[in-house]
Amino acid sequence: MARRGSRPGTPGGAGKSSGGQRRRSAFTPPREVRLREADGSARPAAETEEPGAPAPPAEGGERLQKVLARAGFGSRRACEAIIAQGRVSVDGEIVTAQGVRIDPATQVVHVDGRRLQLDEGTLTVVLNKPRHVVSAMSDPEGRRDLTEFTAGYGNRLYHVGRLDYETEGLLLLSNDGELTHRLTHPSFEVGKTYVCRFEAPGGPPRGLVKTLRDGVELEDGPARADRARVLAQDGREAVVEVTLHEGRNRIVRRMFASQGFELTQLVRTRIGPVLLGDLVPGQSRPLTDRELGTLMAEVGL
């Protein structure tokens, strides 16, 4: 039996091999063989995984296809196909083998380059904020606030940005601090879409949409819509959809006011890739994992 300190290259040696590279310790299995079968037994990586694949947790963990299925990517069989196609990475390494186990609480999973939010302690909700509700968790004037819409989730949620008292529509509520920061920071330029209704006898002026896209001058500086289009007009009222990435106070209302129009209704219908959909005022729902992954990708997470 070889003793500690025997010549380099022997199984018990601690030196370098004849090829000049340091050998792994005989007592530490290489990273790529620390895989486990579904029943927990160890198996060689050569039979299951390409070199460089992420090591699952030493004990337990969940099979990757089960994690993907729970995240909304279809049945486990469909998720196995996604893995086999090389569309999934764990901790930055592509995984193509089946049965790999991971720890969702500590490992980072991407599908098609989009990160999955696997931390079950975080929650992001989309709310259709009704008109005459304050975008705050309390109001010193005693007006309706957001607490009536967050109580049922059991998590301490905070509003991501604001909608003014008169404005209704899509408002995100979250306890994910980093996501909230990025969504509200102007440098990430997340687009927001609004549907604007106003009185327009004879229809809106022909150049209104172009003026909104070119930019208007406000008291706190110029403002410009990224996109604008007329959705409807009947000779009495007009409905215009605008998208912009700025978040200044009442900016949409002020842009229309600068052109002589007072909005009678303002509804936010979209933030980044998240749509209001068919939620009625006062209704809310958690974002799906796909929606959340797309939203995180939008802000570089």
Q: Give me the active site residues, please.
A: 164
For 147, the enclosing helix (H) or strand (E) is: helix 147-150
**Residue 20 structure tokens:** 């000049």
Q: Tell me the one-letter amino acid at 260.
A: G
Q: Backbone dihedral region of 112: left (phi > 0), alpha (psi from -120 to 50 degrees) or beta?
A: left
Place of tokens 């699952």: 56
Considering only CA atoms, give the Rg of the chain.
27
- The values of phi and psi at residue 221, to 5°, are 120, 170
Q: How many CA atoms lie within 13 A of 77 on its CB side?
A: 0
Task: Scan for tokens 């996501």, then name that residue.
Answer: 179
Contact 128, 170 (CB under 8 A): yes
Residue 213's H or E segment, with its range, is: helix 208-214
Q: At what angle do helices 177-184 and 289-298 cross, to 10 degrees?
A: 50
